[in-house]
Chains A and B, each alone.
Chain A
Amino acid sequence: DAKTTQPPSMDCAEGRAANLPCNHSTISGNEYVYWYRQIHSQGPQYIIHGLKNNETNEMASLIITEDRKSSTLILPHATLRDTAVYYCIVTGGGNKLTFGTGTQLKVEL
């Protein structure tokens, strides 16, 4: 599976949009981009995934560049409860998920 690179930490003001970047320059054509988050001492929570088109659901939006070498997870109106470690994972369909170090997002008042 392709390796991903994320900034180790980010801060965001409550109510603002949180934009979390991820680089995956070695992604191959059949690999999806998944985003998960993990709040302290809980199991990871699925956020969103996509292949090449931008995706949106009730939690977030996923913007994938045209060359698919990077993506951005957007939380449109961050709240304190969005404070968590966010993981960007690239994998082929049905394959195991390999976690990197993720981005620690801290949402502050």
Chain B
Amino acid sequence: GAVVSQHPSRVICKSGTSVKIECRSLDFQATTMFWYRQFPKQSLMLMATSNEGSKATYEQGVEKDKFLINHASLTLSTLTVTSAHPEDSSFYICSARDLVANYGYTFGSGTRLTVV
């Protein structure tokens, strides 16, 4: 089945710094990828839809200048959390879908971000 790789799995950064998270579709091409955030004991919340070769579409309430998304190729999307603060500490998860195989949406293993 389709595989989505997410890196890093865990990251600790200092307040005010930026952190980049990578999401790769390993065995399929994805023109669209999705970025979610999950706080403890809560469900996944969609942050944005990443579109290859064009601007990302952000959900209401998500700051596009803080959460920079780049989808430069058909297999890679990146999420950069800029000027991170402790309240940005969360579990970030990406997702993509193999439209050719008509498989379900595949999720990465997630990135645990801790801002200190």
Contacts and interface: CB of A to CB of B under 8 A. Distances in A.
B91 A44 contact: no
A43 B37 CA distance: 11
Given A46-B104, A97-B105, A99-B43, A41 B34 contact: no
B78 interface: no
Given A41-B112, A43-B93, A98 B46 contact: yes
Interface of A is mostly: loop
A52 B112 CA distance: 37
B18 interface: no
Nearest to B99: A94
A100 interface: yes
A96 interface: yes
A42 B91 CA distance: 9
B25 interface: no
B46 A43 contact: no
Interface residues of B, number: 25
A106 interface: no
B110 A41 contact: yes
Given A34-B104, A43-B6, A101 B110 contact: no
Report the interface size class on chain A.
Answer: 20 to 34
B43 A102 contact: yes
A30 to B, nearest CB: 15
B110 A43 contact: yes
B80 to A, nearest CB: 20
Given A94-B97, A96-B34, A97-B105, A42 B49 contact: no
Contacts of B89: none
Interface of A: 34, 36, 38, 41-49, 87, 94, 96-102
Given A43-B4, A48-B104, A101-B43, 9 more contacts: A36-B107, A38-B44, A41-B91, A43-B95, A44-B44, A44-B93, A94-B32, A94-B97, A97-B95
